Amino acid sequence: MSKLSYQFATRVAALQVNPLREQAKNSQTVDHYIKLTYGYPSNEAFPVDKLAKLSDKIYREHAFDFMQYGESEGIPKLRSQIKARLHKYQALNISDNDLLITSGSTQGMDLVFKLFVNEGDTVLTEEQTFVGAVNAIKSYGGYAQGLPFDDAGCIDTEVLRATLAADTSHQIKLLYLIPTFQNPMGTSMTLEKRQAVYDICKQYQVMIYEDDPYGDLLYTDKTAIPKIKSLDDVGIVIYAGSFSKILAPGSRLGYLLAPTAVFDQLILVKQVADSFSNLYWQYLASQLFEDYDFNKHIEHLRQLYRLKLETMINALRAKCQKNMSFSVPEGGYFVSIKLNDDIDGDAFYDEITQRQVGVIPGNIMSAAGKGYEKYFRLNFTLPTLVEIENGISRIGAAAEAAKK
């Protein structure tokens, strides 16, 4: 077979093979490999028995509905149920907005960046942020510009203001944020900070993408901080939710609550992307909301993950404290760690690879892709308690071995 040199679109050249894919494949073949790597929910978190019963029900009542073609917006009942929950529990304005079901929150980002980003445009992000968002921005020829964190681990509002003020040619189209239990930092923006960020974006007429996959997973007794979307009185915030972290990633269900005029355009982009999201899980999730108390399910997740987080924090304090620093998140999926200055970053990664424990290096979870050699991210939701303790022990030993 003679070889052609394929001529791919230039925007694709910005995408890089995810190094984690190889790591994931290799780790499957290694015994005792401990994954503190990905943002996976625990298998214990899936309400399998309930879903199996509901599945029987929707096969009896909706088989022809979920096997046929469906509406691009999503099924009306599920959309109403989600809107009602967002209104009731998050105080979100749903009257000037509409809700689109997406094929996971990954697709939510893809649709919004496709809608707003011309080649050469900029999307602002937190300096350390979700790699999937950065890739999605690049895939439309956009530039992901990371904003530095302040001491509280949230974006510096004065830098945000100065950056927008300097953008006289209006190439900045969006601010992508994970304000609650940030990925990878685990931090949350205070209400005052949210209001400040919102006011600045409103002044400069820049859209905010509020990515909130972890928002329900609060592990303290504090009151949840209001969403940025709850402050939105002019329609500049797109709020993105997901079922991946609180029901099942395999559902491939997320949603966007967007100002109506934006929603109308998102529908066009959604039609081109995959026409509509899989209907089986839409009916299943809708029936779950109807037949069960979803808040009880969330409370179950909170108890499950609170224990895992405490176990990780205790292990970190016992085994790692002298060689690295971290702050304790109040919710979400991740703990972010910074190695002390006297630990060699490259040597540390070699050591943890040898000790068969997986983490996410800081550079991968950053807008710039470099400069975060001393940071790494730990997930505590997937591993068992024993795996958490053993994994942190190995990390502590790796740091000790990587001392300069």
Between residues 207 and 315, which has the closer beta carbon with respect to a copy of itself? 207
**CA-to-CA distance for 76 and 74, rounded, in angstroms?**
6
Between residues 59 and 89, which has the closer beta carbon with respect to a copy of itself? 59
**CA-to-CA distance for 402 and 389, rounded, in angstroms?**
20
Between residues 149 and 280, which has the closer beta carbon with respect to a copy of itself? 280
3-state secondary structure at position 196: helix
Which tokens belong to 149?
């964190």
Among positions 268, 318, 368, 386, the unique one binding a copy of itself when judged by CB under 8 A: 268
User: Is residue 43 at the binding interface for a copy of itself, with CB under 8 A as the rule?
Assistant: yes
Q: Using CB under 8 A, which residues numbered 194 to 253 contact a copy of itself?
A: 205, 207, 233-236, 244, 248-252
Q: Using CB under 8 A, which residues numbered 339 to 368 contact a copy of itself?
A: none
Between residues 69 and 151, which has the closer beta carbon with respect to a copy of itself? 69
> Which string of x and - marks every residue 98-127 that binds a copy of itself (by CB under 8 A)?
-----xx-xx--x---xxxxxx-x------
Among positions 2, 29, 168, 169, the unique one binding a copy of itself when judged by CB under 8 A: 2
Q: Where are the beta strands (DSSP E) in 295-356?
A: 324-326, 334-339
Among positions 84, 91, 165, 272, the unique one binding a copy of itself when judged by CB under 8 A: 272
Among positions 37, 66, 208, 211, the unique one binding a copy of itself when judged by CB under 8 A: 66
**Side-by-side strand order, sheet with 360-361:** 324-326, 334-339, 375-379, 360-361
Between residues 102 and 188, which has the closer beta carbon with respect to a copy of itself? 102
Q: How many residues bind a copy of itself (CB under 8 A)?
A: 86
Single-letter residue type at 245: K
User: Is residue 166 at the binding interface for a copy of itself, with CB under 8 A as the rule?
Assistant: no
Q: Tell me the pairing of strands 122-126 and 143-147.
A: parallel
Between residues 30 and 268, which has the closer beta carbon with respect to a copy of itself? 268
**CA-to-CA distance for 252 and 284, rounded, in angstroms?**
12
Q: Which of 188, 254, 197, 184 is nearest to 223 (CA)?
A: 188
**Shortest distance (Å) from residue 66 CB to a copy of itself:** 5
**Which helix (H) or strand (E) segment is 377 a member of?**
strand 375-379
User: Is residue 271 at the binding interface for a copy of itself, with CB under 8 A as the rule?
Assistant: yes
Q: Which of 16, 15, 32, 18 is nearest to 358 (CA)?
A: 32
**Shortest distance (Å) from residue 377 CB to a copy of itself:** 16
CA dihedral 302, 307, 310, 316 (to 10 degrees): -120
Stretch of residues binding a copy of itself (CB under 8 A), selected from 156-164, 187-195, 272-280, 307-315: 272-280
Phi, psi of 140, deg, nearest 5: -110, 20
